[in-house]
Chain A
Amino acid sequence: MADRLRRERRRFIQALMRASLTLSAALMTVGLVIWSSSNQATARAVTLDRLFSTLDTGNRLMLAGIALLAITPALRVLALLVLWVRERAWRFAATSTIWVANRFWSSLATCMSIIHAPSLWKLEASHIAGSPFL
């Protein structure tokens, strides 16, 4: 029983990781192709204000792919958290919950500090006026 659960868990996680990696690679590839064919001479940095307003499709797709790739390890922990709760493996579920909470709050704090204290990030307040975070 335990071995069957372990095998199922492993296969589910493998499928999730593969899907996430494939999707992010596809997004980045398509974005790169679109960006390359749009006659933009140089790569430009993305700021929060451009992220939600003037950013072109190519850059937007590439950024979505990068973001998906960045959160893939977190997706793995989230999926395992659900599986461990279902399996009543409370010790692992508690560890995962603490980790997820820690990541969530640190990410939220980063976003909030970007929005409310832009000087910390050397951004002008006008740069984030259009941000949907506000």
Chain B
Amino acid sequence: MAATAFLVAKGRSEHHALSPGDREQDTQPIPPNSGPLDARYFDTEANRKVVYHVQRVPFGMGVSYGAGVVSGLLGVGGGFIKVPAMTLVMGVPIKVAAATSNFMIGVTAVSSFLVYLGRGEVHPAATTPLILGTIVGGLVGTRLHVHIGDRRVQLILAAILVFATLQMILRTLGVGVG
């Protein structure tokens, strides 16, 4: 995880920018040699359209499988594996990777929700305040996300990975970290 944090902090997205344009006038064509999974978005912070080429999709599937195993085994979200993998290997810009990872986690949650409901382990009154807090935090995060540069998002992710790494090491060593 620490190595991933280093790579994320060091890495630069391989997408390239097109000429600045109006967000609503989405008229800049995707290059003719683009693949079916290539896409673009308007980066408000950089004031430009960004086109990116998704690469190595089979590798991404393998990493997602690994993230699922780790997630089920350790009870942690797989985002800390999927986001660096998408950014570093598949050529997805970090903002798109963060949004995609959130979406994937949401999809996985549907199955888990049914399983936990079937086992009688869902406490709505205990869960609801946490979810409402997460929704508010998520809305704030997505607003910030638009105005923060890719580089800064990468550094934030790297810092969180380092923190999670230290926390897991300390927990493994039996040092209380809350």
B125 contacts the other chain (CB 8 A): yes
Interface string of B40-52 (1 = CB under 8 A from A): 0000000000000
Is B123 part of the binding interface, using a Cβ–Cβ cutoff of 8 Å?
A: yes
Q: Mark A51-78, 1 if CB is under 8 A from B, else 0.
A: 1000000110011011101111110110
B128 neighbours in A (Cβ, 8 Å): 28, 31-32, 62, 65-66
| Contact residues of A between 97 and 115, Cβ < 8 Å to B | 103, 106-107, 110-111, 113-114
A51 to B123, CA, bound (A): 12
In the complex, what distance in Å separates the CA atom of A70 from the CA atom of B115?
13
Give the residue among A66, A92, A107, A123 with the most B Cβ atoms within 10 A. A66
Tell whether, in the assembled complex, residue A63 and residue B111 are in contact, meaning their CB atoms are under 8 Å apart: no
Is B36 on the interface with A (CB-CB < 8 A)?
yes
Kindly provide the distance from the CB of B96 to the nearest chain A CB, expressed in whole angstroms: 14
A66 pairs with B110, CB closer than 8 A? no
Nearest-neighbor residue (CB-CB) of A28 within chain B: B128
Q: Is the CB of A3 within 8 A of B26?
A: yes
Contact mask for chain B residues 99-119; partner A; CB cutoff 8 A; 1 contact, 0 none: 000010011011101110111
- A107, closest chain B residue (CB): B114
- A interface: dominant SS: helix
A43 touches B125 (CB 8 A): yes
CA–CA, A71 to B50, complex, Å? Answer: 30
Other-chain residue from B106, B111, B118, B125 in contact with A72 (beta carbon distance below 8 A): B106
9-residue interface stretch from B2-10, B86-94, B129-137, B164-172: B129-137
Contact A121 B131 (CB under 8 A): no
Closest residue to B126 on the A side, CB-wise?
Answer: A43
Having A32-B128, A106-B111, one finds 11 other A-B pairs with CB under 8 Å, namely A35-B125, A45-B123, A46-B117, A48-B120, A51-B117, A62-B125, A65-B131, A66-B128, A70-B110, A92-B36, A103-B110
Q: Which residues on A are within 8 Å of B, measured CB to CB?
A: 3, 6-7, 21, 25, 28-29, 31-32, 35, 40, 43-48, 51, 58-59, 62-63, 65-67, 69-74, 76-77, 91-92, 103, 106-107, 110-111, 113-114, 121-123, 127
27 contacts between A and B (CB under 8 A): A3-B27, A25-B132, A28-B128, A32-B125, A35-B124, A43-B126, A44-B125, A45-B121, A45-B122, A46-B117, A46-B123, A46-B124, A47-B120, A51-B117, A59-B125, A69-B135, A70-B106, A73-B103, A73-B110, A74-B107, A77-B107, A91-B36, A103-B107, A103-B110, A110-B111, A123-B118, A123-B119
